[in-house]
Amino acid sequence: MTDVRITHIGGPTALIVVDGWRLLTDPTFDSPGGRYSFGWGGMSRKVTGPAIAASDIAPIDAVLLSHGHHGDNLDAAGRALLPSAGVVVTTVSGAKRLGGNARGSSHGQPRASQRRRDRRSRSPPRRAATADR
């Protein structure tokens, strides 16, 4: 039987342990009070600290980073933890920005053919021809 434990640390951060293998999602470990800008005037303020300190998390086999360009999914303390992880799996562009042990995955990102289908599906629907017109 597989032993699975999930610990919510705060915000987007969770520690998932599967038979001893440790995966951390979107590491955010800054203290409360930080402000994170999203561009175009959008921002958030961190009001609660993590339930577990970053120093108490190790060892980490892998980090799953949904996106690292906003501080609310990868803050300064979370970024400092990345080099100690076995691997960081993120978007292709995120891996290029982070370097080091980051690996980009295009899984879940639309392929060119899917983007073309999506554009076609947004065009106005054609009227169906009827026999009594």
Structure confidence by residue, pLDDT tens digits, 24-82:
999 999 999 888 777 777 888 888 999 999 999 989 999 999 876 666 788 889 999 99
Q: What angle is formed at CA 91 by the lines to CA 90 and CA 92, rounded to 5 degrees? A: 120
Whether the CB-CB separation of 101 and 86 falls below 8 Å is answered with yes
pTM for the complete prediction? 0.73
Structure confidence by residue, pLDDT tens digits, 21-36:
999 999 999 999 888 7
> Domain 4-121 belongs to what topology?
Metallo-beta-lactamase; Chain A (3.60.15)
The C-alpha atoms of residue 108 and residue 4 are separated, in whole angstroms, by 24
β-pairing verdict for 35-39 and 87-90: unpaired
The C-alpha atoms of residue 60 and residue 24 are separated, in whole angstroms, by 7
